[in-house]
Amino acid sequence: MDETSRTRQTAQAYVDRTERRDWQALSELLAEDVVYEMPQTRERIHGRAALLQFNREYPGDWHLELRRVVADGRNAAVWLDSRVGTEHQDANVWLELSGDGLITRITDYWPESYDPPAGREHLVERF
């Protein structure tokens, strides 16, 4: 399998495992020192353990549906239909992978800037 195909499969697995809340399987895709950023809230999370905890604690009945993946080498862009209850939003997630196929950086773009909800300060830094 070529690098772009592997990146595409990893991006699809990232969305699938996150949607299923299969944190153990998701952890297998992430580098130990993965960095996750949300530019709209100016939040950054360092490390696999903190990112998994952030996802476990994320509020609401949220769901992700994959619309499209575009991959090139070790980079992928994912277009998502994200839902919380009856509210739908498009989101774009950019993934960067290492040579061994693990996700090293995730940049999660939402349509509008917003203030982050309280209660996750122990996991994130603001930038």
- Tell me the pLDDT of the chain (127 aa) as tens digits: 899 999 999 999 999 999 999 999 999 999 999 999 999 989 999 999 999 999 999 888 899 999 999 999 999 999 999 998 888 899 999 999 999 999 999 999 987 766 777 887 888 888 8
Per-residue model confidence (pLDDT) at position 32: 98
Per-residue model confidence (pLDDT) at position 126: 83
Q: Is the pTM of this model over 0.85?
A: yes
- What one-letter code names the amino acid at 56? R
Alpha helices (runs of H) in 2-126, residue ranges in sequence order:
3-19, 23-27, 48-57
Per-residue model confidence (pLDDT) at position 115: 76
Which residue segments constitute the domains of the chain, with CATH numbers given? 3-126 (3.10.450.50)
For residues 109 and 102, is the Cβ–Cβ distance under 8 A?
no
Q: What is the pLDDT of residues 26-59, one digit of tens each?
A: 999 999 999 999 999 899 999 999 999 999 998 8
